[in-house]
A and B are shown apart, each in its own frame.
Chain A
């Protein structure tokens, strides 16, 4: 399998969904300035999709390398994914969140 393909798919899906959410937040804000809560929710959902995309991208790379039996790179992807999760968890534990 060409690993460019699944990784491209993840990235472009993240781009499309999050930009649609952001664009509708902006459009709604211009059209109906009083719907603040909905605008915020849409923008937050966009941010959530955006932030989770790189996590998914590493996970998909891991899957694609396993599928290709490129175990060296599967291990490297696993290390990256673990570091991302560990940083996230320890952010809570050590209150790194600035």
Chain B
């Protein structure tokens, strides 16, 4: 048994070692790029694949499939590095995360199975519309969220039965305004269903893990944006690890990129998480609006190209 395991490891390393090694300068450039991705990902509670995948394919000429595999490993890296910092700062809502993880993992599993039967192309359009809707909700809720954060008004709601049953609530200390923000979670069922869809999307298309999770919690479930960012950061590692392990075992990870990419995102994430709680909610919301618009446009572009053959201008 042990010998067998050793053989597998030698096989995997041998398989990987046959590739040419990346130059030191390229490795350091990659480290820099992934640092930026990790930093932004930490501020937004997302994986950062939208930065890493284009950087790898355009700058380093990595084939798209390998780029996605590397990006998934960096999502795990950013999730445990950023996630640990937010847990330490007590912004993460671990119970809410586990509640929503049940639906994202089921969604991701079904999505990954559906890939074998149906094409997910039309789903790009659905997710693009969802992204635009959430972008709009983000920008329209800036004033209200700032006011509620400052006056600690997230407790003034009635919880639904499910949220009450699990006693979903939380609090964190907001360093930009120097006081504690408490909140009750509502609409748990809607949140659970949208998380299921987010998981389905990440299983089918490999995108949209974090972005939709943050918005779901913030817009539908009455979770303050910073708590949503921290909780999403914590959650994305679970689905990413499930995909990453498949790439790993199948020998599809391009090892020469892994060390600089993972290290870069982890460093970027630690800087980002140290900063996030000091930024005013207003600016985080505006960043989010811009990010969601960009992602929505890109998904719409992909969806229209794949379903109707229409080409949108690149931005």
Q: A54 with B98: in contact, given A8-B87, A22-B259 (CB under 8 Å)?
A: no
Q: Are A7 and B109 in contact (CB under 8 A)?
A: no
Residue from B16, B95, B102, B252 in contact with A40 in the complex, judged by beta carbons closer than 8 Å: B16
Cα of A11 to Cα of B116 in the assembled complex, Å: 33
Cα of A36 to Cα of B256 in the assembled complex, Å: 10
Residue of A whose beta carbon sits closest to that of B253: A47
Instruction: List chain B residues, Cβ under 8 A from A83.
Output: 102, 105-106, 109, 242
Instruction: List chain B residues, Cβ under 8 A from A90.
Output: 109, 113
Q: Per-position contact with B for A1-32: 1 when CB-CB < 8 Å, else 0?
A: 00110011001101100110011011001100
Determine chain B's interface SS by DSSP, over half rule: helix
Instruction: List chain A residues, Cβ under 8 A from B105.
Output: 79-80, 83-84, 87
List B residues 59-118 near A (Cβ within 8 Å): 65, 68-69, 73, 76-77, 79-81, 83-84, 87-88, 90, 92, 94-95, 98-99, 101-102, 105-106, 108-109, 112-113, 115-116
Q: Are B240 and A54 in contact (CB under 8 A)?
A: yes
Instruction: List chain A residues, Cβ under 8 A from B112.
Output: 87, 91, 96
Q: A98 with B247: in contact, given A22-B259, A23-B263, A50-B76 (CB under 8 Å)?
A: yes
Cα of A57 to Cα of B256 in the assembled complex, Å: 27
Q: Are B17 and A37 in contact (CB under 8 A)?
A: yes
Q: A54 with B259: in contact, given A87-B109, A98-B68 (CB under 8 Å)?
A: no
Instruction: List chain B residues, Cβ under 8 A from A18.
Output: 77, 262, 266
- How many chain A residues sit at the interface, stated as a range, is 35 or more
Q: A58 with B238: in contact, given A4-B94, A26-B260, A53-B76 (CB under 8 Å)?
A: yes
Cα of A58 to Cα of B246 in the assembled complex, Å: 18
Instruction: List chain B residues, Cβ under 8 A from A86.
Output: 109
Q: Are B84 and A15 in contact (CB under 8 A)?
A: yes
Number of chain B residues whose Cβ lies closer than 8 Å to a Cβ of chain A: 61
Cα of A98 to Cα of B258 in the assembled complex, Å: 18
Instruction: List chain B residues, Cβ under 8 A from A14.
Output: 80, 84
Residue of B whose beta carbon sits closest to that of A20: B263
Q: Are A53 and B245 in contact (CB under 8 A)?
A: no
Q: A51 with B87: in contact, given A73-B98, A83-B106 (CB under 8 Å)?
A: no
Q: Are B80 and A44 in contact (CB under 8 A)?
A: no
B315 at the interface (CB under 8 A from A): no
B50 at the interface (CB under 8 A from A): no
B255 at the interface (CB under 8 A from A): yes
Cα of A51 to Cα of B240 in the assembled complex, Å: 8
Chain A interfacial positions (CB closer than 8 Å to B): 3-4, 7-8, 11-12, 14-15, 18-19, 22-23, 25-26, 29-30, 33, 36-37, 39-44, 46-48, 50-55, 57-58, 61, 72-73, 76-77, 79-80, 83-84, 86-88, 90-92, 94, 96-98
